[in-house]
């Protein structure tokens, strides 16, 4: 039998994981649709590819990985 204290703690952590699900899209907006993006739109080539191109696609890729992780965590909670 679990202590109620423990259950409350679990519910709280679960709620927090759900709140974290909001952080991901906000982070995406911040990095890809605010002037933060302008910091990286410079005419520089890195590894033979232009910096803006690399930046957008790298951020995008990381977002997808995080979303995958998040989806698994949230699924487990269900």
Partner 1 sequence: MLTFNILVAAAIAYVIFLFLVAFWAERRAQRGELGWLRSPLVYTLSISVYCTAWTFYGAVGSAARNGLEFVTIYLGPTLVFIGWWWLLRKLLRIGRTQRITSIADLISSRYGKSASLGVVVTLLAVIGSTPYIALQLQSITTSLSVFATTEGGLADSNVSGFWVAAVLALFTILFGTRNVDANERHHGVVTAIALEAVVKLFALLAVGIFVVWGIGDGVAGIFSRMSPEMLHVDDIFGPRWVALTFLSATAIITLPRMFQVTIVENSDERHLSTASWAFPAYLFLMSLFVLPIAIAGQSILPAGSNPDLYVLTVPLAEGQNALALLAFLGGFSSATSMVIIATIALSTMVSNHIVMPLWLRNVSDREPTSGDVRGVLLASRRLSIAALLVLGYLYFRLTGGTGSLAAIGLIAFLGVAQVLPCLLGGIFWRGATKAGALAGLATGFVVWAYTLFLPSFEGAFILSSAVIENGLFGLSWLRPYELLGLTGYDPLVHALLWSLSVNAVLFVGVSLISTPGQLERIQGAQFVDVFRVTDGRASGVTIRRSATSEDLFTLAQRILGTGRAHALFTEAARDQGYQVGLPAATDEFIQSLERELTGSVGAASAHAMVSQIAGGGTVSVEELINIADETAQIMEYSQQLEQQSKELAETAQQLRQANAQLTELGAQKDAFLSQISHELRTPMTSIKSFAEILDNTADVSADEAQRFIKIISSESERLTRLLDEILDLSFLESGRVDWKLEPVPIDAVINRALAATEGLRASTGVQVVMDDEIGEIEVQADFDRLAQVFINLISNAVKYGRAEEPEIRISARRADGLAEINVSDNGPGIAREDRDRVFEKFSRLTEINLAGSAGLGLPISREIMRNLNGDLTVNDNAPGAVFQVTLPLA
Applying CB under 8 A, the residues found at the interface with partner 1 are 18, 21-22, 24-26, 28-29, 32-35, 37-38, 41-43, 45, 47-50, 52-53, 56-57, 60-61, 63-68, 70-72, 74-75, 78
- Considering beta carbons, is residue 1 or 26 the nearer one to partner 1? 26
Triad 14, 70, 1: Cα angle to 5°? 30
The least distance separating partner 1 from the CB of residue 2, rounded to whole angstroms, comes to 21
The least distance separating partner 1 from the CB of residue 23, rounded to whole angstroms, comes to 9
Element (H, E) at 39: none
Q: What tokens does 71 get? A: 């989806």
The least distance separating partner 1 from the CB of residue 60, rounded to whole angstroms, comes to 6
Q: What tokens does 52 get? A: 């803006």
Contact 60, 67 (CB under 8 A): no
């Amino acid at each position: 039998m679990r202590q109620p204290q423990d259950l409350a703690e679990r519910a709280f952590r679960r709620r927090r994981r759900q709140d974290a699900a909001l952080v991901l899209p906000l982070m995406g907006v911040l990095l890809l649709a605010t002037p933060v993006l302008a910091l990286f739109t410079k005419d520089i080539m890195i590894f033979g590819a232009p910096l803006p191109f690399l930046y957008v696609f790298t951020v995008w890729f990381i977002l997808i990985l995080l979303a995958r992780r998040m989806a698994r965590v949230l699924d487990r909670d269900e």
